[in-house]
């Protein structure tokens, strides 16, 4: 690697939700930059005004903030190479497009959309390129005088790259090694549109050069564009400054057949966007990992392992560990299958690892949104510590925690009544008296007292544990039942036994 300061960029289009593949691209850029004490830049590629969606840029920034992947330079943070929105850099690009025309590497094309549509309909596999360009309305087929007249009349036109014939262009990809392309197979891409806006092809090259980008990580779907970009770097005289490229593997559907899409998520019941995305035009809400109940640490961890591993059996990585251990050499060329069950496993593991204090505000909101009153935050922290090992997604905290704050609204009486006896009724009536007189209210003392009392009454402990749990919780879930009783306290535990007895003994 050269001695230049590492500078990487994520350059999304503000056209909708942020796919998890996009966040993985951000993550790999970020890890590489931080590992090499470099800069991570966010650049908004909003040159396609027809596809621009209001609110999409703020959404992208919110996603990165939630993930904790803060850009060093961006439209919001600013930086030495501002502006960071391509629409605000519009004046820059025509100069370079015109330079390419003067050099003979690009040309003006005056064809109307209707003329091009006609060609596409009449000519199978029509491409605007070396086979057909001489018969179309452009500065290669028209006289210089005709071109000047059209330009003077402000006739709408685009500028296209002139792809050379019979050449091979190659580069070394950091993941894939040597990659080559035949120029005959690439059409003459538009570089500057009729509205003066650059296309992605011109803008990405110009901006990467002007912003001194040293490494460009992007999805492998951009590989077919590489020959155009390689030639632009060469034609503009910047080949020595071209960034090193890495084309990241696709994130595949769970069955491994094809790229994971929003439709796949809807069909299979899981999100593919980082956060909820609401499309104001269609009224469609696409769910996100955040709102489903994922921790950002878990989301980043699962993304890091989609196409990368550190060569060990380790699966759980903090962001700091990823910065330390990430290596582009260990990114796979092959696509990575997305496994939602594995994604949930990551989340459960990260919830287990998290301190109760870091989960407190989120859990409190989840409970209060469901009408559960949380007045004692110290008590809430104890509850979180007791149940977090049983939670997979954050909303699970409601089911797992609500009964610590309010009595069960209903009981799984069907699991109790068929085997209920008068002896069990008498056991729990006398247990109320026993617990009322118990001084040491802790898990071990309660368990010892309960078991001794069962032995005294000649009832198997196993027959009493489930009813006791359902009395306290309402169902067959939760941590160790004596841990629950210890946290609930003496008064509340006794109150719940009394109330449940009424239900269990009712005809």
Q: What is the DSSP letter of 249?
A: P
The CA distance from 58 to 64, in Å, is 10
- 433 CB contacts (<8 Å, ≥6 apart)? none
Six-digit token string for 358 = 């870091």
Six-digit token string for 414 = 């069907």
Six-digit token string for 409 = 């609204």
Say which residue the tokens 């027959």 belong to: 463
Six-digit token string for 221 = 């779907």
Six-digit token string for 203 = 């803008």
**Catalytic residue IDs:** 262
The answer to whether the beta carbons of residues 86 and 46 sit under 8 Å apart is: yes
| Region for residue 22 given its phi and psi (left: phi exceeds 0; alpha: psi -120 to 50; beta: otherwise) | alpha
**DSSP assignment of 162-215, as one string?**
-PPSS-EEEEEETTTEEEEEEGGGS---EEE-TTSPBPHHHHHHHHHHHTT--E
Six-digit token string for 116 = 């091009």
* 262 among annotated binding-site residues: yes
- 127 CB contacts (<8 Å, ≥6 apart)? 187
Say which residue the tokens 């966007």 belong to: 273
Calculate Rg over the CA atoms of the chain.
32
Which residues fall in the annotated binding site for ATP? 262
Which residues fall in the annotated binding site? 262
């Amino acid at each position: 690697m050269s001695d230049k300061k590492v500078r990487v960029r994520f350059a999304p289009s503000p056209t909708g939700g942020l796919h998890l593949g996009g966040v993985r691209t951000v993550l790999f850029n970020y890890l590489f930059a931080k590992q090499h004490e470099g800069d991570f830049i966010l650049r908004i590629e909003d040159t396609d005004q027809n596809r621009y969606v209001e609110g999409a840029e703020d959404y992208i920034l919110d996603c990165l903030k939630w993930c904790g992947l803060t850009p060093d330079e961006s439209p919001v943070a600013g930086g030495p190479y501002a502006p960071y929105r391509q629409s605000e850099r519009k004046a820059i690009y025509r100069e370079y497009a015109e330079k390419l025309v003067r050099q003979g590497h690009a040309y003006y094309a005056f064809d109307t959309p209707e003329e091009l549509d006609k060609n596409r309909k009449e000519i199978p596999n029509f491409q605007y390129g070396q086979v057909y360009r001489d018969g179309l309305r452009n500065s290669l087929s028209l006289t210089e005088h005709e071109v000047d007249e059209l330009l003077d009349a402000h006739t709408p036109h685009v500028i296209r790259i002139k792809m050379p014939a019979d050449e091979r262009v190659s580069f070394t990809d950091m993941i894939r090694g040597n990659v080559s392309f035949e120029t005959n197979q690439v059409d003459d891409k538009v570089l500057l549109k009729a509205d003066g806006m650059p296309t992605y092809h011109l803008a990405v090259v110009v901006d990467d050069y002007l912003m001194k980008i040293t490494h460009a990580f992007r999805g492998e779907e951009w590989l077919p564009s590489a020959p155009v970009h390689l030639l632009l770097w060469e034609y503009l005289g910047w080949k020595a400054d071209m960034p090193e490229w890495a084309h990241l593997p696709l994130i595949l559907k769970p069955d491994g057949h094809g790229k994971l899409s929003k439709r796949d998520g809807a069909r299979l019941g899981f999100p593919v966007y980082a956060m909820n995305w609401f499309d104001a035009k269609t009224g469609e809400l696409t769910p996100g990992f955040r709102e489903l109940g994922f921790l950002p640490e878990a989301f980043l961890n699962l993304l890091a392992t989609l196409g990368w591993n550190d060569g060990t059996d380790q699966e759980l990585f903090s962001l700091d560990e990823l910065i330390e251990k990430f290596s582009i050499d260990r990114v796979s060329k092959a696509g990575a299958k997305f496994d939602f069950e594995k994604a949930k496993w990551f989340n459960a593991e990260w919830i287990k690892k998290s301190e109760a204090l870091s989960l407190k505000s989120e859990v409190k909101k989840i409970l209060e949104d469901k009408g559960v009153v949380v007045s004692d935050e110290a008590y809430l922290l104890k509850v979180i510590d007791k149940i977090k090992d049983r939670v997979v997604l954050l909303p699970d905290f409601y089911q797992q925690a609500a009964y610590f704050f309010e009595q069960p609204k209903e009981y799984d009486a069907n699991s109790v009544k068929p085997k209920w006896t008068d002896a069990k009724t008498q056991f729990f009536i006398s247990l109320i008296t026993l617990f009322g007189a118990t001084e040491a209210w802790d898990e071990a003392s309660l368990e010892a007292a309960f078991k001794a009392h069962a032995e005294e009454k000649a009832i198997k402990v196993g027959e009493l544990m489930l009813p006791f749990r359902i009395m306290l919780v309402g169902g067959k879930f939760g941590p160790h039942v004596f841990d629950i009783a210890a946290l609930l306290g003496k008064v509340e535990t006794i109150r719940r036994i009394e109330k449940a007895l009424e239900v269990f003994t009712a005809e």
